[in-house]
Chains A and B, each alone.
Chain A
């Protein structure tokens, strides 16, 4: 829980700083794939591994995974229809037969209509979400953070002793 909270605080800090746009956007994209995938699946494990190994904002990934899991649940009928269309495509049957009988691959549950449909949709949407997130973060920093920092309330708050003390603390302890 501490690790998750730490990641969430880090997300807010990064979001309100001038750096880490790519990390957050990659986190959101990973969250999309995680949210659309079954909770216990090979592809979920792989995404987790990527999140740990690469500099992806884990807080952004977990937050967006929760959000996208709800979206995926609403879109299950669509995912089912897409999955059925893909899994019943005649020309892909030999490929699916090979994959079905390979080691490990069946653990992705690709042979399930909802998993296949949601998986394909999440992979297709991931680049869009990545670039969309970057755009939104830039807009957020420009419109919301900058305006907030120039507001009288923020100026009043940043002039307090407590804020100065916290800023000093943060400078040393990060």
Chain B
């Protein structure tokens, strides 16, 4: 215990409660209130912009944000979401977004919005400055099967088939580029493999032939057979000895001749395999020719290829968009099954894993019960729609998310929009359905082909479009249709022939239709795309190009054939020689076997006859003896 001493101030004993902390506490509370009054909105706005940018894949700007802590309301104004494919334009622009949250849910760490208002929604609006586009996220564990499939399709669709055809029409002869085929033909590798395979077969058969019984073995047996007394059999004992010796020779012969028979069967199989491998060379040559055609940019002149080249990328973009939205929906609104599945270690161990312990009357982490979308413009035109039950846990809410939208975007020249989106994650199998149609929208300056030799596009057209998609688990079912009417084409070409060809192909074509169907699983999609523009181009171009292309193809085929001819001939000759040698060698042995078998058979037959004769003689003698005895007895 410290005692007050002279010259020192008496120390006042202090209790456990810090009474003097009232002022610092008040300062902290005041600072908090000040922060929420002055800075919170700005910080929240920046946080929301960052989060929305990450989700959108391109810059999202929020013009203003106001919150009321006591009312738990939020007002967000002038939201601009950059289109990642066209950074100069907004994908969606929202005039104002208002909503209030329930304090009851907020106190439980959840966000529950009973009703939200989304006003003045516009699409495809210009931006003052191009928005920043984020790089695509790096795959976490290598590309999936669906990534690979979509990458392959992208490679195919991004090829410039029409441009390549125009180049040929303009005078380029692709086969002339084929002065010398590089050393990377698949046929070369295949023939080297054939050579190796034949070497192996020859070595194997050499060893196998050496292990087969030789002529001496059969000669020894023949000698033994010659020593068997077949003709001079005097009694039954000698006969029995001869039969026994013959059986022993026969057993030994069977043991020795069996590998020869098996070798015959094996050789037939191996030679058949070689024949099949040689037949496969033709397929590889065809593959090489196709590869060289592709390398020489010699496209296939058919409507299907042209249709895919013209509109494939459009359809692919829609499929990729649908996949992106689906993945986000499944990430943020997991199905009941996905929640119950064994959870892997979280990607960032420092963030841990969140568990949900909801009960039937509880709140999910986020629930927007209803949002009204409106966009009123002078003249009564505009947009109206509704979003219902957007929730992070649909199994808790018990209802799927449904979003509907209908109306017009007159400023963008789009009329008759009808859209319905259903995200049903209430069951274990996630289902996303979308139906979207636009009755009429204007198209101007849309490019379809852009190559140095030719460009083709719609200078102007009136279009309608519809899209239906159903994604169920891993299954994809998509149907895209576009109709372009009052079409004015815009085409340019340096070559007069190409210009003529394009004009002739497109003459009288005022309406363009495109129908695409995509079905299957994400890893194996079946694409079906047709358009009358592809048909018209194929018909028109054939008149100009068919002869040239046939000639080019023949030349490529001839060059490949010439390149592999010597090696192919050498291989064929070697195969024939090997086959002949092995068959001949085996035939000699088989002949020896057959001859010895015949001799054995003859000896056996001879002995059999002698045995039967001896038996008959014996029987006759017994009968005579018996008769004599009977006669004697009767007398």
> Are A106 and B110 neighbours in the complex by a CB distance under 8 Å?
yes
Residues of the B chain whose Cβ atoms lie less than 8 Å from the Cβ of A114: 349-352
Instruction: Check: A103 CB closer than 8 A to any chain B CB.
Output: yes
Contact B110 A55 (CB under 8 A): no
B107 within 8 A of A: yes
| In the complex with contacts A80-B346, A83-B352, A55-B16 CB distance below 8 A | yes
Q: Please report the C-alpha to C-alpha distance between residue A85 and residue B426 in the assembled complex, in whole angstroms.
A: 28
Interface size class of B (residues with CB under 8 A): 20 to 34
Q: Which of B2, B25, B345, B362 contacts A52 (CB 8 A)?
A: B25
Give chain A nearest CB distance to B395 CB in angstroms: 15
Q: Is A143 in the interface zone, CB < 8 Å from B? A: no
Asked whether B30 is an interface residue with its Cβ less than 8 Å from the other chain, the reply is no
Instruction: Determine whether the beta carbon of B358 is less than 8 Å from that of A100.
Output: yes
The answer to whether A115 touches B109, judged by C-beta atoms less than 8 angstroms apart, is no
- For the complex, give the distance between the alpha carbons of A122 and B448 in Å: 64
Q: Does B356 contact A (CB under 8 A)?
A: yes
Check if B107 sits within 8 Å of A80, measured CB to CB: no
Q: Is the CB of A97 within 8 A of B18?
A: no
Once the chains are docked, how many angstroms separate the CA of A93 from the CA of B355?
11
Residues of B within 8 A of A112 (CB): 352-355
A73 at the interface (CB under 8 A from B): yes
Are A106's CB and B18's CB within 8 A?
A: no
Distance in angstroms between the alpha carbons of A80 and B343 in the assembled complex: 13
B-facing residues in A64-87 (Cβ within 8 Å): 73, 76-77, 79-80, 83-84, 87
A5 sits at the interface (CB 8 A) = no
* Chain B positions 7 through 18: 1 when the CB is less than 8 Å from some CB of chain A, otherwise 0: 011000011111
- When distances are taken between beta carbons in the complex, the residues of chain B under 8 Å from A100 are 108, 356-358, 362
Q: B356 touching A111 by the CB < 8 A rule?
A: yes
Complex Cα–Cα for A19 and B12 (A): 13
B359, A97: Cβ atoms closer than 8 Å: yes
Query: Is there a chain A Cβ closer than 8 Å to B21's Cβ?
Result: yes
Q: How far is the CB of B28 from chain A (nearest CB, A)?
A: 8
CA distance in complex: A115, B109 (Å): 15
Given the contacts A3-B24, A52-B21, A104-B107, A73 and B15 also touching, CB distance less than 8 Å: no
A12 at the interface (CB under 8 A from B): no
Which residues of B have CB within 8 Å of A87? 355
Distance between A53 CB and nearest chain B CB, rounded to angstroms: 6
B437, chain A: closest CB distance, angstroms: 43
Residues from 138 to 173 in A contacting B, C-beta threshold 8 Å: 171
- Given the complex of chains A and B, what is the CA–CA distance between A137 and B528 in angstroms? 79
Name B353's contact: one of A53, A54, A56, A80 (CB within 8 Å). Answer: A80
Task: Give Cα A117 to B351, complex, Å.
Answer: 12
B108 touches A52 (CB 8 A): no
Size range of the chain A interface in the assembly: 35 or more
Contacts of B2 in A (CB 8 A): 19
- Pick from B104, B345, B357, B363: contact of A111, CB under 8 Å: B357
Give chain A residues whose Cβ lies under 8 Å from the Cβ of B28. 52
B3 to chain A, nearest CB (A): 13
A87 to B343, CA, bound (A): 13
- Is A107 part of the binding interface, using a Cβ–Cβ cutoff of 8 Å? yes
Q: Is the interface of B mostly helix, strand, loop or mixed?
A: loop
* Residues in B whose Cβ lies below 8 Å from that of A96: 355, 357
A101 beta carbon closer than 8 Å to chain B: yes
In the complex, are the beta carbons of B352 and A171 less than 8 A apart?
Answer: no
Separation of A102 and B355 alpha carbons in the complex (Å):
15
A76 to B352, CA, bound (A): 8
Given A84-B353, A111-B355, A113-B355, answer yes or no on A55-B9 (Cβ-Cβ < 8 Å): no
User: Which of chain B's residues 40-71 have a Cβ closer than 8 Å to chain A?
Assistant: none
Give the chain B neighbours of A80 by CB distance below 8 A.
345-346, 349, 352-353
Chain B residues lying within 8 Å of A104, measured Cβ to Cβ, are 107-108
A63 → chain B, closest Cβ, in Å? 18
**A115, B352: Cβ atoms under 8 Å?**
yes
Distance of A30 Cα from B9 Cα, bound (Å)? 31
* Chain B positions 268 through 308: 1 when the CB is less than 8 Å from some CB of chain A, otherwise 0: 00000000000000000000000000000000000000000
Q: In the complex, which residue of chain A has the Cβ closest to the Cβ of B24?
A: A52
8 Å CB interface, A83-130 against B = 83-84, 87-88, 93, 96-97, 99-107, 109, 111-115, 117
Contact status A93-B357, CB under 8 Å: yes
Cβ–Cβ contact A53 & B18, under 8 A: yes
**In the complex, what residue of chain B is closest to A87 when comparing beta carbons?**
B355
Contact present for B356 and A54 (CB under 8 Å): no
A52 to B350, CA, bound (A): 29
CA distance A106 to B107 in the complex (A): 8
Inter-chain contact A53/B17, CB cutoff 8 Å: yes
* B-side contacts of A73, CB under 8 Å: 350
Collect the chain B residues with CB atoms within 8 Å of residue A99's CB.
357
Residues of B within 8 A of A79 (CB): 352
B17–A55 CB distance below 8 A: yes
**In the complex, how many angstroms separate the beta carbon of B15 from the nearest chain A beta carbon?**
7
**Inter-chain contact B354/A102, CB cutoff 8 Å:** no
Chain A residue nearest to B363 (CB atoms) is A101
Q: Return the chain A residue nearest B348 by Cβ.
A: A76
Q: Are A101 and B355 in contact (CB under 8 A)?
A: no
List the 6 closest A-B pairs by CB distance, nearest first.
A114-B352, A106-B109, A100-B357, A103-B107, A113-B352, A97-B357
19 more CB-based (< 8 A) A-B contacts, given A100-B357, A112-B352: A52-B21, A55-B14, A55-B18, A88-B355, A96-B355, A97-B357, A97-B359, A99-B357, A100-B358, A101-B108, A101-B357, A101-B359, A103-B108, A105-B108, A106-B109, A111-B354, A111-B356, A111-B357, A115-B352
Can you list 23 contacts pairing A with B, beta carbon distance less than 8 Å?
A19-B2, A52-B18, A54-B16, A54-B18, A55-B14, A55-B17, A55-B18, A56-B18, A76-B350, A77-B349, A80-B353, A84-B353, A96-B357, A97-B358, A100-B358, A102-B108, A103-B108, A104-B107, A106-B108, A109-B109, A112-B352, A113-B346, A117-B352
